[in-house]
Copies of this chain bind each other. A is one copy, B any other.
Amino acid sequence: MTKRTGRYTFTFDSHPKILSFAAVAGPKESEGPLGECFDKIFYDPKVLMNSWEQAESEFQKEALSLAIKKAEAKGEDLDFIFAGDLLNQCISSSYGLKDFSIPYLGQYGACSTMAQSLIMGAITLESGVGRLCGCVTSSHFCSAERQYRFPLEYGGQRTPTAQWTVTGAGSCLLGYAKHPAPCITRACVGRILDAGVKDSANMGAAMAPAAAQTLCDFLSDSGQSVLDYDRIFTGDLGLVGSDILYTLCKEQGHDLRQNHSDCGLLIYDRQKQDVHAGGSGCGCAASVLCGHILPSMAAGKLKKILFIATGALMSSTSSQQGLSIPCIAHLVEISI
C-alpha cells in the first residue's frame, strides 16, 4: 500500500492543511515566556462559571470559536469535531462543544489528544468523507489537580518531578486551501507502552519511553534523521522526561539535544513560576502548538517540524490499585 512507509508511518497524499488555529490560556500561562502568544487569556481561571470543570469547557468553546472565526468559516461548515480532554468521561469537551451542534467524535489519548485529533482529522480529510474538521483539546490546573491528585484546598506538597497542569486550550481547523498553510504530511500512531513507572507525580518518566518508541519507529520507517527537522517538539515530557528521551534516543543512534523542545518547558519559566519539572496536560501541547509552533511556521521561522504529544493512560483508580502507567505518543509531521 503506497500510503504506508514501513510498519507504523503513513503519508497524506491529499495535503490536509491546518487552515486556522487558536490558543486560549489562563493567568499563570499569561505570565510565562509565551504569554504574548496566546489569542486570548482568561484572567479569571473560573471564567465566571460555577465549577472548574465548566470553566474548562469555556476554554474549549472559546478556542474553537476563535479558530472558526480566523478561518472566516461558520460552525455549520465543519463536518466533524475531534475533541477530548483529561476529565472523567471527557466532560469539558462534551459540555463545551455541545452547542456547536457539529457531528462530534470524542477522542481519548490523555495528553496526546491534540496529536491524535490532528491525525483523525487528517485521516478523515484523506478519506474524502469530510472537507473541514475541527480539532480541540484542553486541560485546567484546578479540575485536573482535584481529579488526579488532591483537593486544591489541601495545599499538598509537590515532588521535584511533578509537573504543573496547563490551564489552556488549543484548536485547529483542518481542510484544504490553495494558499500556503502548515500541512500535515505524515503521521505515526503510537503503541501503548508500559515501562513499569508507578509514580503518578512523575509523568515525564512514565511517558518518555513511549515518545522514544514512536519517534524511533517514525525515523526508522521514513528514513528521515533528526536533523531533517527544524525542530522536534514533544508535548509535556518536562525536564525529567526530556532527559530520559535523550538517553533512550541516543541508544537508538539519534541525538535529539540540538533541536528538540518540549512544550512543557516552553510554556513556563520553571524557576520563577515554581512549576517544578515543567508544564503538562492536553492543554499544554495544544496551546503551545496553536499559540507558538504554528504561528512560527506561518511566519516562516520553522518549515518542517515533528509534533509528538504523549499521554499517560492511567486513572486515579488504576493508580490506587497499584498498577503501573501505560503511555502512548502520537507523531505528526507538519511542513509548510
Contacts and interface: CB of A to CB of B under 8 A. Distances in A.
A90 interface: yes
Contact of A126 (B90, B119, B128, B315): B128
A299 interface: no
A105 interface: yes
A234 interface: no
A192 interface: yes
Nearest to A119: B105
A326 B197 CA distance: 36
Interface in A78-116: 79-80, 84, 86-91, 94-95, 97-98, 101-110, 116
Given A8-B103, A124-B123, A129-B123, A189 B80 contact: yes
A252 interface: no
A38 to B, nearest CB: 26
Given A315-B91, A328-B104, A321 B127 contact: no
Given A107-B105, A109-B106, A88 B317 contact: yes
Interface stretch (A50-58, A62-70, A152-160): A50-58
Nearest to A316: B88
B89 A313 contact: yes
A87 B315 contact: yes
A198 interface: no
Given A53-B318, A127-B127, A321-B50, A108 B90 contact: yes
Contacts of A116: 105-106
Given A103-B189, A107-B108, A192-B98, A10 B129 contact: yes
A48 to B, nearest CB: 15
A3 interface: yes
A314 interface: yes
A149 to B, nearest CB: 14
Nearest to A147: B317
Given A91-B315, A191-B102, A318-B53, A108 B127 contact: no
Interface in A183-213: 188-194
Contacts of A87: 315, 317
The CB with the most chain B CB atoms within 10 A, among A11, A86, A87, is that of A87
Nearest to A123: B127
A3 B318 CA distance: 42
Contacts of A128: 1-3, 126-127
A119 B109 CA distance: 18
Given A106-B109, A147-B317, 11 more contacts: A1-B128, A87-B315, A88-B88, A89-B110, A91-B314, A95-B326, A103-B188, A103-B189, A104-B192, A105-B107, A108-B108
29 contacts: A1-B128, A3-B127, A3-B128, A3-B129, A4-B79, A4-B129, A50-B321, A80-B189, A84-B108, A88-B89, A90-B313, A95-B323, A97-B192, A98-B192, A98-B193, A98-B194, A103-B190, A104-B189, A104-B190, A105-B119, A106-B108, A106-B116, A108-B108, A123-B124, A123-B127, A124-B127, A126-B127, A127-B127, A127-B128
The 5 closest A-B pairs by CB, nearest first: A127-B127, A103-B189, A94-B313, A89-B315, A106-B108
